[in-house]
Chains A and B, each alone.
Chain A
Amino acid sequence: DAKTTQPPSMDCAEGRAANLPCNHSTISGNEYVYWYRQIHSQGPQYIIHGLKNNETNEMASLIITEDRKSSTLILPHATLRDTAVYYCIVRASRMDSSYKLIFGSGTRLLVRP
């Protein structure tokens, strides 16, 4: 079972920031938080991942709370092309011999014109 809880759907206006929350209250110390998104009928696209610190790349920012029990993915200026299902995944370190990604239901983000 997925170790994360996400709202089933959200929407935001084009040009505004989209803040997607994820709850992972049972996360352990060596587990990473990964975010992927999937645009209709395409393969999932990697966005960003983090362990403890906040992370930023060209696509998004990842804010992880100090207790690591929740995180927020931020798309700073959402466009219509950001409409997709966003998956938050908690993933064990491969040192624990766990290599799979466990997808939940994700959040369906609709960006409105």
Chain B
Amino acid sequence: QVRLVQSGAEVKKPGASVKVSCKSSGYTFSRYGMSWVRQAPGQGLEWLGWISAYNGNTNYEQKVQGRVTLTTDTSTSTAYMELRSLKSDDTAAYYCTRDGAISFGGIGSFDVWGQGTMVTVSS
């Protein structure tokens, strides 16, 4: 059974950083990539970026580029999303979702989702 299990909720102050983990199981981690998507309370979905667990390549959405870093640890089949210089409008649920190994998008993309990690930014 393919699963993505994310780390727990976080509360951070403005200007701080947060690192969310996404542990995979049930498939060969290095044969896929991972995209990260966020959803502000009561709002829609926003793609943040993609990382290949195969070769470490990344793509970041322009809005968060420079503040976000995606990494993977193939030894533990875990993907990470770090967001720095947090602002109040970064308050959102952050989701990892399985994606392609060579590029984002594809037939196998976005087929499995984590349970979400709520990040609250408040002074």
Are both chains from one complex?
Answer: no
Taking beta carbons and an 8 Å cutoff, which residues of B are in contact with A?
Answer: none
Taking beta carbons and an 8 Å cutoff, which residues of A are in contact with B?
Answer: none
